[in-house]
Structure 1
């Protein structure tokens, strides 16, 4: 399909033409990851579809349909909706803090109770942040992206939700928000001097932050990460059991449904945060390596899609969503291997969880929309700031 064919008005509006432009390799990989997650949830439940596997599969099927539908939406509508989406999501985060609708679960006030359902705005805030940053950088020059007083605007876009979510306290989501925003600024061309200065500041701030700002249970997680054996039956239990599961699988694993750590419930949060440990125990090094290979393939394909976009908005948005996905994979992988503190970050599409799956699929809807409308040119003059 040539660029001219895609930009002819008659061709551009055909659904069949747009569907042919979807990268079905990426769709297939997402299905493989989610299908593996369903199989593992079935295994963890002792060979039963309830309470996790059936819901995971049905949820993915519905969200896959939504993703494909949203990928047909022209990039200009994503562009125009960027700031409103960010504003609405920021308002929802504020409502948790300042209204009775805020709901506490797992020690953090990070849910919004709407009566008929509960949502976690911090999850969706990550998508809104990438969209808003992509729209801001679309309008500004490479020099302004590298170093300018105007960088206070994207810094504020990142800092406000980061601080609000960290206060809930939900350090896992806050960390993803901060890192995703930082990666987008880096991809947009931020000066290396600023990057080095910020990195130095973070290193200097971490020790006093851990000792004097963190809640006790959060501080214990960090200290346990440094020395899990100091409290093997308490705060160090999760990491120790995860490492046992990882090592027990050996090269080929114990076999499907035969993982003792998960089946006998020694492994905590085996259906969410530590599901990758279950994969390693049942399918061994080869199984976990294959799973990581699928994630790497998704990231590489998505980055390729970002590089092909003719609009700066499309490039930044698709690359930002890919970075968001990659951060989930890296942080969860490091967490289950004991290379990072346990911060409640799931493995995308593999772990059970509605909010996480929804944000990942919405993110890939934007990536796919960038692929389908890669020849779209967006005006530089639109936008605030």
Structure 2
């Protein structure tokens, strides 16, 4: 019998089912996956973890493989505007009907097993992928790695983009402890691509202990801008590529694209010669230093939410054309807001703090954010109830020829994109961190 429940109904329902927003572990999701009879979601699987750059790395892997004519599914999180963004097959977001059917299948199989919102979504994505005859599934870890629901699937290649301080309440309070959690996506005798030149020793130790084949940036593969500055190169022993600059043009995107290439090179997939360049140029991810024009003001939207991402934003601002830069900043309660502001202090002329209470239990209002920023350049910034109010004030503050940087969380980025769409703003270009 046809269901009368919409996708919105399902999302509201599953969001309130589990007593905790985050509860790491594979036992529950593994039980339900077994009842669903889930096998491999594709001929090959790439799993991507990391503190920053995960979504962009997934996009590069997806775009290069698709440019070579492969059928690709990608599972990412969180979404910015619509849940459908989380599940893509052949470059298209999953439709409402397909997601509803997948949620129905998960619900029928779960019995008395309680699942988190993310676990429901992961199982639904894997169910859809298993029915799509995919050559490659690219899975982005939601939180950490070792105990994340995505780690239910054994990857043919694992990627760890970066390891930095984030989600410390769940993952540990230093890079070594967090590295242990992220390294949990590695498998014995399979490739593990490391996007950092100097990853934590805990990551390397785990790889060696289980026999994973570590492929390290700066060692096993290298990359850099070419002499003219209008392209870049990627090489490993016996293989070299000359490539156009990514469409995602912030400096850190070269590292993400390089890790994506290393991951695909580690798989037994046929990628045609031209697909490397076409995919690198074509990859796009919304909310990664995405540029818009509004009332003569450049508006930049970014999901960066930790000090490492803020340092990358600061690097971009140092190289950008001079302009009065006004930041709209909102952060969830578990984030190092002071560390983020410190990283960007030299590049921002004025701050506007936005409440994020609409994000749920982890959100915080502008007054609480200001308290967390005591002693920083943003402590006395203007405070606003929500992102919309902060954007309106920041736009006036920046003035014609100025720049507004809206960042700090996926909630801020999503709200900004919705505000810009409602205002009829035009995208000027895409770049990303």
TM superposition score normalised by structure 1: 0.28
Higher RCO (Cα < 8 Å, 6 or more apart): 1
| Structure with greater strand percent | 2
Higher helix share: 1
